[in-house]
Every structure is written in structure tokens, then in C-alpha cells.
Structure 1
Amino acid sequence: MKKGIFLWIVAILVGCGSDDNAPPPIPEGAILVFPLENSECTTGQPVNETLSRVTFEWQPSANTDLYTLSVVNLNTNTPQTLTTVATSASLSIEKGAPFSWSVTSTNTDSDLTASSESWLFYNAGSQTTYAPFPAQIIAPKSGQTIIADALSQVTLEWSGADVENDIDVFEVYFSEQNPPLTLLGTLNNDESTMDVGVVSGTTYYWKVITKDAEGNTSDSGVYDFKVL
């Protein structure tokens, strides 16, 4: 009888101790709430002639102790970051400029993090019409080394968005020089891929100019990749 009680106690102790060896909980990505995706944000509080203070909001994510808000001015590629335990934070950002924003979730007991989606928006300014958001390059990633297909081609891929939903065309520039000055083609607003011929061992540079129906334009910036 005593032996049975002893084994029962050992089993309990072992079972309790097993939790100590469990891996730390992995945080989940936050769900963004505001500013809305591909929208014009008109709620910013004026700071001065060029800046307004915008409050960003997101839903709480599981297993998260800290949130890091990242806001990038797409005209200048200048990031601003802020870390908080709350599910909202305010930053002073440029009026009339396009931005992307995202949230990184962190658990202090884990080395792993989780990222939210990245949303685009315009911070309201004095203008009554807005240029399209700069095209977001999907593939190839900048600096990537890739293998061409059997036809010695690589597929360029991007995405476009516009507050007024009036994108007209995408102009794709592609060459071995930086910046690329050769207009490879002009595509309709419902097209966002293009196959290009490439040569092994060569580095290529490319960018996408987005034009809307009112003649406004935006520049994706130059991206590069090397072909094996």
C-alpha cells in the first residue's frame, strides 16, 4: 500500500514538472483595425502645417506581451516605430502622404515574433485627389538571386492600390542599369505580372510606375535581382 502511494506521488510530481519544460507560447499576429486598408485617414489631429497625429488601432493577439507599431512613409521610405503594451498608439506623421503600417507581436518568454498584415493608407492633407499608392513589389524580392525558367524568363509580380480606385495603367521599367530607363511595357490595371527574358549571371533592375485616370503617378522605387 505504501509503495502504491509513493508511486502516485512521484507521478504527480513528474506531471507537474513537465510544464516547466514546455516551450514558451508563440505570439499570434494582430488583426489591424484602423486606419482602414487602402483608405484616406481623415481623423488625424493637426500638429502643425505639415504633421497630424494619427491613432492606430488593432485587436489584441494571443500570447502577446508587447506590440511594436511600424509606420512607413512610402514617399521617403522613412519608418517610425513605437512599442506598447496597449492595442493602440499615436504617431505624428506627414499630411497628404501615403503610408504603410503593421504591428509585430512579441512574447517576452519567446524569441519568436508574429507580424500582422501590412495596410496602406493616405494621411489626409489639403489635396482633393490622391496619387495611387506606390506599387508593392511581390517578386522577385529586392536583392534576391533566382533561377530562370526553361524559357530563360522570370516573372515580375506586384500589386497596386488606390484610394479612389481609379488606377489606369502600370508602366514597367526594366534594364541592367540602375535606375532602369527602358520601358518594358504598359499594362492595364487588372494586370500585375510580366514575364521578362533574362541572361544567367546578370543583375537586373526594375520598377513600376502606377498612373490613375486623373494623371497622378506613383513610383515603386527600384528593385534588383540576380539570375543564377
Structure 2
Amino acid sequence: MPPKDDLELQKLRKELDDLMTKIKEEQNKAADKTLEDICGDVASAPKVRLTTKKLLKGHINKVNSIHFSGDSRHAVTGSLDGKLIIWDTWTGNKVQIIPLRSSWVMSVAFAPSGNYVACGGMDNMCTVYDLNNRDSTGAAKIVRELLGYEGFLSSCRFLDDKTIITGSGDMKICLWDLEMGKRSLEFEAHSGDVVSISLSPDSSSYLTGSVDKSCRLWDLRDDKPKQTFFGHTSDVNSVCGPRTRLLACLTYVQIRT
């Protein structure tokens, strides 16, 4: 016989599913027009032609994550080959290669200033590197190892050189003070693994995606969501909010192993 906690969890999940079904039924009753009806006379969107601007080759295994610096020129990539590579995307040259202690990297982040990069994954921690300070081998020095996660680190983003936000497989969002190496905020953001974070341009709010099939909008100062978006029937693996400085591009950077 299943444990009492499992039975209670199953009961709560069924209750949640029933409530979601009821909400959808009420929405359908109130809807006087469909999306197709409203958009029926709207012209088709113009076709966007993408051309490869640079092909960045250097990794020898799967590239799991990429993030641009604030100058929109330099980027960091993380790969299962156990390395971070800092790229000059204008020239296609490697600026720096950082060997990792764990090759199971799932997320990388570049500080807007370009001074730091961070990464994490199945090692259940977020590691921060100082690009302006190198060790005897020439690789960037580790300045912080943020520990204490009960699940894999799925996403990380710098707010500035002193603050980073992370999401993880223990369903939590953590805001870290990098100077102190301590959490300034920690809370359960979803009912499943947090797998993606996207910051607003001014870093005052952010979006999260989760395996609980929802994405949520947050204010950086609060641990309660401002809005929850339902509609997906499976995991929300990636989210991206509007960025006024990063709209549509007709060129793209391609990275291959």
C-alpha cells in the first residue's frame, strides 16, 4: 500500500487537475471569439532569412548553454567536453578556455560587465570565475563556489558583478550576494524543477520556466509570483522575456563541436 504522504500528494494533484479543467471550461464559456477569428484578416508575417555570420568551432562534445556578455560581442559557451570557452563572436576567435571540474554543465552566464562568468549543472553548485584574474595555468580563477543545492543547477544569471540569481532542480530560486558568498533570498518558486530563468533588461523582474508545465513572472524584491502562465501540457524548458535591445536579428552565430 502506498505511503500516506504519496496518497495525499496524488489527491492534491487530482484536485489541481480538476481545478485547471474547470478554469479552462469557464474560459471557453466566456470566450466570444477564437484567436483564428480575431487574426483572420491579419497579413502573414514576412519570412525571416537567417544567414550564418560566424561559425564558432572548438568544443568536442555537446554545447549545452551559451550566453552573451553585456557588450553583445563576447560570449561564453559550456559543453560536455568539460570546458567553458570565451569567444569574440566578431572575429570568431577564442579569448579564453576554462577547464571545469565537472563536465556536466547545464547553464552558463556572463556578467553584463564582462568581468565574470558562472556555470553549474549536475554538480549541484554554481561556480563563478574571474576572467581578469588567472592562475598559474593561465585559466580564470574560481572566486566563488555556491553550495547548498538539493538538486542540479539548471540556470543562472548575473544581475551585476556582486549578485547572481539561480534556479535549480530542488524547485528553488536563490539570490546570492557574491561578496559574502551567501544567499540573500531563497524560496520554492515552482512545484517542479526550475529549468530556465530570463531577466528583464533592467534586471528588476524575471521569468521562470518549470517542469510543472508553467512559467511565472517575478519581481526581484518579492518571493511571490506576479503572474503564473498556464497552457503547456509538458515541461517548459526555456523562457525569454522581451528585451528592447535584443529584438529580431537577420544574422546569427552558429556553434558546433
- TM score, norm. by length of structure 2: 0.24
Structure with bigger RCO (C-alpha 8 Å, 6+ apart): 1
Q: State which structure, 1 or 2, has the greater radius of gyration over its C-alpha atoms.
A: 1
- TM score, norm. by length of structure 1: 0.27
